[in-house]
């Protein structure tokens, strides 16, 4: 009798938990749909001539260097990996095995603000050496944008921080995070999809089969 009473007493709680889980599931699904809609609008808004120039720069570069801070850095590493799979010589700036950059090389900076200090410093150094600079950003009128040879504008709104030029690590310690929301760090998500789309386009142009990429995929995991 006691167990039956306890079970009856817990029923409203179980119902509440199940209802909450359903609401959270719907919320996540709705957020995904909202983000997908926003990214589609961003994709349609990217200047097609800018895209063509960027793809040509990638195809004609001797070597390709990529860089970014924080989540943008993760996008940059993903792009470098896909470039390697496609047969390009690619490096991530800051890695111990990354060689000196030279004239004829291309450096691709992923920076939503276009003002990240270390990324700007490196871009200016590469430019001075004679390398071409490409910027993937939501702010072309920025420190890196003013020296870039190629710009891809990812049109997004970004959550404000005290100083957008601060290092990612400094903003992290200060607690000045951007929320992962459609109007927050949608830049990184859009940049990731853009870079994958560039790789897919190059594969089509060069008639590269997926099996060729698989041959360059790591086999020592």
Catalytic annotation, pick one of 155, 188, 209, 212? 188
Residues 104 and 3 in one domain: no
Residue 98 lies in a domain: yes
Residue 177 lies in a domain: yes
How many CA atoms are closer than 13 Å to the CA of 145, on its beta-carbon side? 16
Residues 83 and 98 in one domain: yes
Is residue 179 over pLDDT 60? no
Residue 165 lies in a domain: yes
Determine whether 18 is an active site residue.
no
Residues 38 and 51 in one domain: no
CATH number for the domain spanning 103: value is: 3.40.50.10490
Residues 111 and 40 in one domain: no
Residues 51 and 40 in one domain: no
Residue 171 lies in a domain: yes
CB 68 within 8 A of CB 75: yes
pLDDT for res 150: 98
21-73 pLDDT, tens digit per residue, is 667 667 788 878 888 888 888 999 999 999 999 999 999 999 999 999 988 99
pLDDT for res 7: 57
Mean pLDDT of 85-107: 96
Is residue 161 over pLDDT 50? no
CB neighbour burial string for 61-90, b if at least 16 within 10 angstroms, e if fewer: bebbbbbbbbbbbebbbbbbbbbbbbebeb
Residues 20 and 86 in one domain: no
β strands within the chain, DSSP E: 64-68, 90-92, 106-110, 132-137, 150-153
Tokens standing for residue 38: 């926003």
CB 89 within 8 A of CB 63: yes
Residues 35 and 63 in one domain: no
Is residue 92 over pLDDT 80? yes
How many domains does the structure of the chain reveal? 2
Residues 145 and 74 in one domain: yes
Of the residues 28, 45, 62, the one at which a domain ends: 45
Cβ-Cβ contacts under 8 Å for 116 (sequence gap 6 or more): 69, 72, 144, 165, 167, 168
Is residue 99 over pLDDT 90? yes
Share of the chain above pLDDT 70, in %: 74
Residues 100 and 6 in one domain: no
Mean pLDDT of 1-7: 53
Residues 97 and 200 in one domain: yes
Residues 112 and 154 in one domain: yes
CA distance 109 to 191: 11
Which domain does 20 fall in, by range?
A: 1-45
Tokens standing for residue 57: 């720069």
Residue 221 lies in a domain: no
Helix intervals (H) in 46-116: 48-60, 71-86
pLDDT for res 28: 81
pLDDT for res 31: 79
Q: C-alpha dihedral over 59, 61, 62, 63, to 10 degrees?
A: -100
Mean pLDDT of 155-183: 51
């Amino acid at each position: 009798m006691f167990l039956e009473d306890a079970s009856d007493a817990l029923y409203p709680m179980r119902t509440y938990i199940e209802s909450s889980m359903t609401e959270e599931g719907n919320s996540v699904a709705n957020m995904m749909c909202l983000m997908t809609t926003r990214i589609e609008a961003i994709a349609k808004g990217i200047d097609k001539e800018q895209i063509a120039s960027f793809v040509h720069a990638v195809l004609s570069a001797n070597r390709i260097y990529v860089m970014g801070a924080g989540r943008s850095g993760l996008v940059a590493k993903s792009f470098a990996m896909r470039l390697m799979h496609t047969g390009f010589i690619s490096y991530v700036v800051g890695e111990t095995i990354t060689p000196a950059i030279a004239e004829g090389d291309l450096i691709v900076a992923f920076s939503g603000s276009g003002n990240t200090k270390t990324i700007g410093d490196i871009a200016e150094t590469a430019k001075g050496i004679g390398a071409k600079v490409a910027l993937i950003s939501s702010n072309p009128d920025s420190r890196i944008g003013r020296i870039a040879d190629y710009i891809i504008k990812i049109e997004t709104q970004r959550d404000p921080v005290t100083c957008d030029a601060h290092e990612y690590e400094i903003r992290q310690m200060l607690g000045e995070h951007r929320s992962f929301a459609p109007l927050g760090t949608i830049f990184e998500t859009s940049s990731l999809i853009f870079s994958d789309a560039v790789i897919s386009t190059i594969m089509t142009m060069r008639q590269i089969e997926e099996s060729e990429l698989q041959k360059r995929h790591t086999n020592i995991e």
